[in-house]
Structure 1
Amino acid sequence: MGTWDTGHFDNDTAADFSGRIDETPEAGKEAVIRKALEGAIAPTDYLDSDEAVIAVASAALVASQCPGGEPVTTAYGPDKPLPVLATDLRPLAVKALDAVLGEDSELRELWDDAGDKEWAPGIARLREVLVAAAG
């Protein structure tokens, strides 16, 4: 995983995902985000780090449209604006982040092994915004 910082888009996989979002016609962008979130929830044994990274990026995009959510302004996020996303993505994003932070997540293990103290709190803040918006 080519990672340069703890931000939600600060790695090669998330940056590539942003490009995929930009290349997708507007009517299909929500489906790409939904599929990424569902992909993090689906594994029954171990969540691969690439799937987790894409879920985190997707959750950040959903949260950016929530009250209190931060806009995605990084150069590694999508360049094109997103349509208004369905509100049912918010609880799905929470479940995806729970999987990312779970015991069976390769991404969490990688950050834990690196001894980083910023990544997990950043995910927790993102989750708080989504929980509040999900009602």
Structure 2
Amino acid sequence: MNIWGIGSFENEVGAAFAQEVAQDGAFALAEAFDVALDPDTDFLAAEEGHRTLAAAEVLVAALTGETDRITDAGLRAWVEGAHPADLEPLRDLAREALGRVLGEDSELPDLWADEQDAEAWREDVERLRAALG
């Protein structure tokens, strides 16, 4: 899995997820959060963690109108056309899913633990959580 930065779309999974959201819309967001919160999943794999972070980034952009972190043109068009009221029900799911990404039963914190940008990555995830309330 290629990772080239701490941002939600700065890895191959997040970049691919941008295309998925542009095509499938809110369904893709809900699915990413549901997978992360599946009670039958004992350990959240890095791929699912990356999808959750990307989904949260999209949701924050759609709810706040701040699209500066959305670099994919198709995704930006979807975000700009989204109705925040329709996406509001995903806010709590997203916040809970981000908690799971940062939790002990998640692969991403382990992958970032020995990296130079580990603290910056964690702060970026916390930024998302704070933006979701």
Q: Determine whether 1:103 maps to 2:99.
A: no
Given candidates 128, 131, 134, the residue that maps to 2:130 is 128
TM-score scaled by length of structure 1 = 0.83
Q: CA RMSD in A?
A: 1.9
Which protein has the bigger helix share? 2
Residues 22 and 74, structure 2, Cα contact 8 Å, conserved in 1: no
TM-score scaled by length of structure 2 = 0.85
Name the % identity: 33
Q: Which range moved further: 107-116 or 86-95?
A: 107-116
* Structure 2 residues without counterparts, runs of 5 or longer: none
Could you say which residue in structure 2 is the equivalent of 1:8?
8
Q: Determine whether 1:56 maps to 2:57.
A: no
Distance 2:90 2:41 in 1: 21
Change (3 A) 1:21 1:65: closer
Given candidates 62, 67, 76, the residue that maps to 1:65 is 62
Q: Which range moved further: 114-123 or 74-83?
A: 74-83
Distance 2:115 2:30 in 1: 29
Distance 1:57 1:16 in 2: 10
